[in-house]
Structure 1
Amino acid sequence: MASVKVMRMKLGSEGLDVSAQGLGCMSLTPYYDQPKPEPDRIALIHVAADLGVTYLDTSDIYDNHTNEMLIGKALKGGVRQKVEVATKFGVSFENGREVQGDPAYVRAACEASLKRLDIDCIDLYYQHRIDPRVPIEVTMGELKKLIEEGKIKYIGLCEASASTIRKAHAVHPITAVQLEWSLWARDGEAEIIPTCRELGIGIVAYSPLGRGFLSAGSKFSENPYEDYSVLSLPRFQPENSPDLVTAFKRVSRITQAKGCTPLQLALAWVHHQGNDVCLIPGTTQIENLIENIGALSVKLTPEEMVKLESIASADNVKCSRYISSRATGESSCTPPPSSWKAALKRIFFYG
């Protein structure tokens, strides 16, 4: 088992205490691949908690609610007292509406998540995506009521703009903002992360391994377009393959000198961004979980940080994170025509 101690941290300024590295639970139910038998998946959660990885991150839309149900089963037998449970609401495929933030929906979603998780209170409740039809102040008003009723403890936002964060925070303090942050995805550094730090909001980095590329880069470099789960993303299109392979090889050379794996180096880079950042890499394998924890022992110098950032510059990591850029509604790269619609729904809504 891992010998590295998983540090604790204050997430935001409202008092939430979590492990500095959490567990993204999305892959524990069918998404990329068919998962392991349920007892094995529950065992992984138990091992994570025993090793100090206590922040569990799920959502009501992961595999049509079954992910929350799995977490609920894993919390039995005293495990609930060891962990911090975060889940999300805000995406619905009913009635033709895909993003919802109206008060009635917020309350119904919370009640349903509490039932599936089989707990009395959700530690951190995120709005998964922002509903452009409902003012964020209205959504926050209902979330504030849920706190007053003891159904949730803290509020979070996912993939929210700086202006939305400010408006929401004015209604009730936001504890955490979740966004994609890795060597391969750094657009949040311009406005969102500075806004969070100004307001005392914690930062939760999802996909800290660049949608898996920074852990599966060797596979990508050997055969970049065979059975790889992010191929519908603009930056992983064939025209970008040479630059990606070169960048991964440069990262790998640094790991040889550091005595760690590319995965650990990539996680370490995000850990070094500040003590207000919590990472939530996902895995279905206990050995990968232990490797993830090992990133906490990797120390990077300022010079090494700069070198890594130069490798993952815009010249090497081209195109937007999503098929359609939120800023322009366009992408500078063309996704495969047969899969882009399904990929957009999968990637945009499932974080």
Structure 2
Amino acid sequence: MPDGNAKIIVGTSPVAADRRHAYLLFEHSDGRQFVVRGGPDANPEGSAIGNLAGSTLLGSDNYGNIRVDAGPYVPPYQAVYQKQADGSLQPIPREGANLEDARLVKGADGEPLVRTETAPDWPRPNETHEHRTVWQGTDAQLEQKLQAALKAGQQINNAQLEYSPLANNSNGVASTLLKAADVTPALPLGKDGKPVTAPNFGENLYQDVGIGSYRSGYWFDGKQWHDSDNHKIQPPKSGEATVPLDPDEKSRSGSGSFHSSIDPPRDAQPTQTAFSTGDPELDKLAAATFANDEAGLSQAAAQIAQSQQVQALAAEGHRQLANQQQEQARQPQAPAMGA
């Protein structure tokens, strides 16, 4: 395949009937693909509805922080595991591997341990993913854009941004990394010919997600980090104070592409219309919560608990976390994220 056919593709997988999780594929002219994606770094305990409502409405950090991961995007394969000098495990295709290598991890029977390796966001059996090519060029250009995305991904990891399923999530990561690579974010089209629904796609990423999904603290638009007063800052690191690049810069109103429908005037009391998550049932729960309406709260919670959407979101969260923990444990060789 000639050079010039390298691509960046936005992929989306089903989370619920009408919602999607977005990830990025960087495809070389020879067809090799590399996936870059985001997700939570914590596995919440307890009920799915409690964790979702707590994170979305009450500001609970049930899902930990956003974690950006990357690796080769290849079909599932049987792997053995080689111990590296830094203590990590490198998966190696069993076919063609030297099974006498003393560095291979052995099972209880003394034979090399064999497991099935599955790339992050690889489609499950009978699962359909939508795809959209958002950029095409040469392999050299693709590598530059990949490194820009990886550098932004490392900055996101360093900043320790709170993950929230609907307000600060993997979809926001995908669009933010596209902006970092100078690519206009766009979602694949569904069967109806319209872009699929992926909550938070196109929005900025924030340090914290508070009550009613209100996003606060420093934030990132893919190109520049800003503090809570919208002053430009260096890429932040968790636990370190942020310092404006230009202390004399006047604070600007607004924050990039983020427009909140849940930020009422300072002297206004929260009302049902002041909160909008994009999900009618969650909005009912929000209204009942802030009105101290116990009956309404119970009714809304019961309805949401039975929702296939909530169960699907929870299942996808568990799946993403399992993939990330597996990737982190073995740390396969891949283009390193920049500092």
Same fold, TM-score > 0.5, yes or no: no
Normalising by structure 1, we get a TM-score of: 0.24
Query: Which one has a larger percent strand, Structure 1 or Structure 2?
Result: 2
Normalising by structure 2, we get a TM-score of: 0.24
Higher normalized contact order (CA 8 Å, seq sep 6+, divided by chain length): 2
Larger radius of gyration: 2
